[in-house]
Amino acid sequence: MYIELHPAIVHFPIALITLAYIFQVITVLKPDVIPKHLNLWVLIPAALSTLPAVLSGENAEENLGEICKGARETLEIHQLFANITTWSLLTLTLVWIYITLKGYANQKVQRLLLAFLTLIFISVCITGYLGGELVHIWDLT
Protein backbone atom coordinates (compact mmCIF):
# COMPACT_ATOMS: atom_id res chain seq x y z
CA MET A 1 0.00 0.00 0.00
CA TYR A 2 1.36 3.41 -0.99
CA ILE A 3 0.76 6.30 1.40
CA GLU A 4 1.50 9.82 0.15
CA LEU A 5 3.37 11.74 2.87
CA HIS A 6 4.38 14.82 0.89
CA PRO A 7 1.14 16.82 1.40
CA ALA A 8 1.39 16.40 5.17
CA ILE A 9 5.14 16.94 5.52
CA VAL A 10 5.42 20.12 3.43
CA HIS A 11 3.35 22.15 5.86
CA PHE A 12 6.05 21.99 8.56
CA PRO A 13 8.75 23.90 6.65
CA ILE A 14 6.17 26.36 5.32
CA ALA A 15 4.90 27.14 8.83
CA LEU A 16 8.33 27.20 10.46
CA ILE A 17 9.92 29.39 7.78
CA THR A 18 7.00 31.79 8.07
CA LEU A 19 7.34 31.85 11.87
CA ALA A 20 11.11 32.41 11.67
CA TYR A 21 10.52 35.24 9.19
CA ILE A 22 7.94 36.90 11.47
CA PHE A 23 10.27 36.55 14.48
CA GLN A 24 13.13 38.07 12.50
CA VAL A 25 11.01 41.02 11.38
CA ILE A 26 10.09 41.64 15.02
CA THR A 27 13.74 41.20 16.07
CA VAL A 28 14.80 43.91 13.62
CA LEU A 29 11.94 46.31 14.42
CA LYS A 30 11.71 45.75 18.20
CA PRO A 31 14.87 43.92 19.34
CA ASP A 32 13.80 43.55 22.99
CA VAL A 33 10.40 41.93 22.33
CA ILE A 34 11.58 38.52 21.11
CA PRO A 35 13.79 36.40 23.41
CA LYS A 36 17.40 36.32 22.26
CA HIS A 37 18.05 33.68 19.55
CA LEU A 38 14.40 32.52 19.42
CA ASN A 39 14.38 33.04 15.66
CA LEU A 40 17.40 30.71 15.37
CA TRP A 41 15.64 28.07 17.46
CA VAL A 42 12.77 28.16 14.97
CA LEU A 43 15.07 28.31 11.95
CA ILE A 44 16.93 25.09 12.83
CA PRO A 45 13.84 22.82 12.74
CA ALA A 46 12.61 24.78 9.70
CA ALA A 47 15.82 23.94 7.84
CA LEU A 48 15.78 20.31 8.95
CA SER A 49 12.12 19.89 7.99
CA THR A 50 12.86 20.88 4.38
CA LEU A 51 14.82 17.67 3.81
CA PRO A 52 11.95 15.20 4.33
CA ALA A 53 9.69 17.57 2.37
CA VAL A 54 12.00 17.45 -0.66
CA LEU A 55 12.60 13.71 -0.37
CA SER A 56 8.89 12.93 -0.07
CA GLY A 57 8.25 15.21 -3.06
CA GLU A 58 10.75 13.28 -5.14
CA ASN A 59 9.09 10.06 -4.05
CA ALA A 60 5.68 11.46 -4.98
CA GLU A 61 6.98 12.39 -8.43
CA GLU A 62 8.25 8.83 -9.00
CA ASN A 63 4.75 7.51 -8.33
CA LEU A 64 2.96 9.98 -10.63
CA GLY A 65 3.11 8.21 -13.93
CA GLU A 66 2.36 10.12 -17.13
CA ILE A 67 1.25 13.75 -16.77
CA CYS A 68 0.47 16.48 -19.30
CA LYS A 69 3.02 19.05 -20.48
CA GLY A 70 1.55 21.95 -18.45
CA ALA A 71 1.57 19.93 -15.25
CA ARG A 72 5.14 18.77 -15.96
CA GLU A 73 6.31 22.38 -16.45
CA THR A 74 4.62 23.48 -13.23
CA LEU A 75 6.15 20.51 -11.40
CA GLU A 76 9.65 21.36 -12.64
CA ILE A 77 9.36 24.99 -11.51
CA HIS A 78 7.94 23.77 -8.17
CA GLN A 79 10.98 21.49 -7.78
CA LEU A 80 13.36 24.31 -8.67
CA PHE A 81 11.94 26.63 -6.00
CA ALA A 82 11.80 23.77 -3.47
CA ASN A 83 15.52 23.17 -4.03
CA ILE A 84 16.30 26.89 -3.84
CA THR A 85 14.37 27.10 -0.57
CA THR A 86 16.00 24.00 0.91
CA TRP A 87 19.62 24.75 0.07
CA SER A 88 19.33 28.46 0.82
CA LEU A 89 17.74 27.78 4.18
CA LEU A 90 20.27 25.12 5.14
CA THR A 91 23.12 27.46 4.19
CA LEU A 92 21.60 30.44 6.00
CA THR A 93 21.00 28.35 9.10
CA LEU A 94 24.61 27.17 9.24
CA VAL A 95 25.89 30.73 8.72
CA TRP A 96 23.43 32.02 11.34
CA ILE A 97 24.60 29.42 13.87
CA TYR A 98 28.22 30.41 13.22
CA ILE A 99 27.45 34.12 13.56
CA THR A 100 25.55 33.52 16.79
CA LEU A 101 28.27 31.33 18.31
CA LYS A 102 30.93 33.91 17.46
CA GLY A 103 28.82 36.70 18.99
CA TYR A 104 28.52 38.70 15.76
CA ALA A 105 24.71 38.89 15.78
CA ASN A 106 24.43 42.68 16.22
CA GLN A 107 21.55 44.74 14.82
CA LYS A 108 23.23 45.33 11.42
CA VAL A 109 23.79 41.59 11.01
CA GLN A 110 20.18 40.95 12.05
CA ARG A 111 19.04 43.20 9.19
CA LEU A 112 21.24 41.31 6.75
CA LEU A 113 19.86 38.00 8.01
CA LEU A 114 16.36 39.42 7.55
CA ALA A 115 17.17 40.26 3.93
CA PHE A 116 18.25 36.69 3.19
CA LEU A 117 15.35 35.24 5.16
CA THR A 118 12.97 37.46 3.16
CA LEU A 119 14.24 35.90 -0.08
CA ILE A 120 13.79 32.42 1.39
CA PHE A 121 10.29 33.32 2.60
CA ILE A 122 9.39 34.50 -0.92
CA SER A 123 10.83 31.28 -2.34
CA VAL A 124 8.79 29.09 0.01
CA CYS A 125 5.65 31.09 -0.87
CA ILE A 126 6.26 30.48 -4.58
CA THR A 127 6.95 26.80 -3.91
CA GLY A 128 3.74 26.45 -1.90
CA TYR A 129 1.70 28.31 -4.51
CA LEU A 130 2.98 26.03 -7.27
CA GLY A 131 2.34 22.98 -5.09
CA GLY A 132 -1.24 24.15 -4.62
CA GLU A 133 -1.53 24.65 -8.36
CA LEU A 134 -0.35 21.07 -8.94
CA VAL A 135 -3.06 19.77 -6.63
CA HIS A 136 -5.97 22.09 -7.37
CA ILE A 137 -5.48 22.92 -11.05
CA TRP A 138 -3.61 19.90 -12.42
CA ASP A 139 -5.27 17.47 -9.98
CA LEU A 140 -2.03 15.73 -9.01
CA THR A 141 -2.41 13.97 -5.68
pLDDT in tens, 19-51: 999 999 999 999 999 998 899 999 999 999 999
Report residue 114's pLDDT band, with 50, 70 and 90 as the boundaries.
Answer: very high
Residue 53: inside a domain = yes
- pLDDT on residue 2: 52
Residue 141: inside a domain = no
Residue 31: inside a domain = yes
Residue 37: inside a domain = yes
Total of domains in the chain: 1
Predicted TM-score (pTM) of this structure: 0.94
- pLDDT on residue 3: 62
pLDDT in tens, 57-101: 999 999 888 999 999 999 999 999 999 999 999 999 999 999 999
Report residue 1's pLDDT band, with 50, 70 and 90 as the boundaries.
Answer: very low
Q: What distance in Å separates the CA atoms of residue 56 and residue 39, rounded to the nearest whole number?
A: 26
Give Cα separations from 100 to 37, 66, 94, 141 (angstroms): 8, 47, 10, 41
Instruction: Check: CB of residue 40 under 8 Å from CB of residue 21.
Output: no
Helix (H, G, I), strand (E, B) or coil at 57: helix
Residue 35: inside a domain = yes
**Which of 54, 56, 45 lies closest to 127 in space, CA to CA?**
54
